[in-house]
Amino acid sequence: MFNKRIKIKELLAQEPKGQEATVMGWVKTFRNNQFIALNDGSTNNNIQVVAALGKFDDELLKRITTSASLKVTGTVVPSLGKGQTMDLNAETIEILGDSDPEQYPLQPKKHSLEFLREKAHLRFRTNTFGAVFRVRHALAFAVHKFFNEKGFVYMHTPIITASDAEGAGEMFKVTTLPLEGNIPKNEDGTVNYEEDFFGKATNLTVSGQLEGELGATAFGDIYTFGPTFRAENSNTTRHLAEFWMIEPEMAFYDLEDNMNLAEEFIKYIIRYAIANNKEDLEFLAQRLADEEKQLPQDKRSEMGLMEKLDFVLNNEFERLTYTDAIDVLKNSNYSKKKKFQYEITGWGMDLQSEHERYLVEKHFKKPVILYNYPAAIKAFYMRQNDNCEPGQQTVAAMDILAPGIGEIVGGSQREERLDKLQSRMKDMEVPAEELWWYLDTRRFGTVPHSGFGLGFERMVQFVTGMTNIRDVIAFPRTPGSAEF
């Protein structure tokens, strides 16, 4: 039944010359009881199926409704109508699955993104989400392709972990202990996790980095690409409770090597998406342009989607220290005229998205890599820089800032010196006894090494131009929402 099926994308690339073809897909529209727009998800473009008047039974035609699934066999001919190059003159039409038009919630009209989030199980069938998720696929494939070509080893790091790589404390607990009733307690009233499944407190991972470092100190270059979780009660357009992270770790890399790889990586995956999903990206670019026409002039982006992607590809990323960035921001007209929502208070402050975007979009007009951040605002595992100014201890950290979104990559050279790492862990109250295995990599053949993390959904958001991160992951997990 199915082995003769051709995908619509493949069929539309052919020359229409009377060949027979069998297609299967879902009905987008059916007009004049004759013209069926059929789509199978391989492309946003539909094949126009022509059901000649009088050729098919009225009862069959009544069942051809929006989102009903069909199998159609017919002859491919040049189209006489506008908007398509070919028609499929139907010889046989088989209904594979009915769709009740009174019940189906996505009628052939424009729906808001908020409404479609409530119908996430069906929103893939819209043109917008068809394009977004084909681009997401291309980017994911490009990630593996890039690292494979460079000889990296792909590692699967644990989803259930007893360590908190970020020291953030905002983690989802994993337990088989009863949530009600007699929870085993210690004498001091705390939960006795020795009776739990793993014999200790465990959580869903916030990062695979620490385990990734273990792999890097054996294989040289590794990367992880998997789900991560943050129990952060944040309802912004940039945060999810469950998201995917790409985290390479490289032995014998310093901070500059790290920055070079990250820049090359970002450009590679964007270039791959443009080469392989140009049609989808052009659709999303037009969609974004139409959306921005509804905004006041001062809220519109200065660049269209394709311009923004070219902007990243065609510019060498500007590199400057955090200290220099603070000076640029402090001396900017935006700061002097108090246009920033968050005031530039000086060295040591954590930069906000608006500050990062100013550096990229207004000042340098190119992507920016900031490096050498204050130690006080960064994680324990980052390498402490030598010869710092008094009161200005920095670490070899780097963030890559992109137009329209701000930080898209965060990374660092890792602290390879055991004494420095132990001292930093003590200062930050990170329990060394729980990370004995991590410290062993500094005891047995330590090496300079580096890595970075890229939030995959942030990258998909950037490449597709979608303004809400909930619209670039199939089933978003956010505070109060775990539907589907």
Specify the pLDDT at position 435.
93
Specify the pLDDT at position 400.
97
Convert the pLDDT of each residue in 413-454 to its tens digit: 999 999 999 999 999 999 999 899 999 999 999 999 999 999
Q: In what order do the strands lie in the sheet with 173-174?
A: 160-161, 202-204, 173-174
Specify the pLDDT at position 340.
94
Q: What is the CATH number of domain 127-171+206-471?
A: 3.30.930.10
Give me the phi and psi of 482, to 5 degrees please: -140, 40
- Secondary-structure class of domain 8-109 per CATH: mainly beta
Closest-CA residue to 287 (of 110, 458, 85): 110
**From CA 448, how far away is CA 251, in angstroms rounded?**
6
**From CA 324, how far away is CA 332, in angstroms rounded?**
12
For the chain, report the end-to-end CA distance as a whole number of angstroms: 31
Query: Token pair of 343, please?
Result: 């005031």
DSSP for 361-418 reads IIIISS-EEEEEEEGGGS-TTBPBPSSPPTT--EEEEEEEEETTTEEEEEEEEE---H
pLDDT band at 17 (very low <50, low <70, confident <90, very high): very high
Specify the pLDDT at position 189.
84
CATH 2.40.50.140 residue ranges of the chain are 8-109
CATH 3.30.930.10 residue ranges of the chain are 127-171+206-471
- The answer to whether residue 1 scores a pLDDT higher than 70 is no
Give me the phi and psi of 408, to 5 degrees please: -120, -20
Q: What is the value of pTM for the model shown?
A: 0.94
> In sequence order, what are the residues at sequence separation of 6 or more whose Cβ sits closer than 8 angstroms to the Cβ of residue 40?
7, 8, 23, 24, 25, 26
Convert the pLDDT of each residue in 160-182 to its tens digit: 998 766 655 689 999 999 988 88
Closest-CA residue to 227 (of 144, 152, 159): 159
Is there a contact between 401 and 373 (Cβ–Cβ < 8 Å)?
no
Specify the pLDDT at position 303.
86
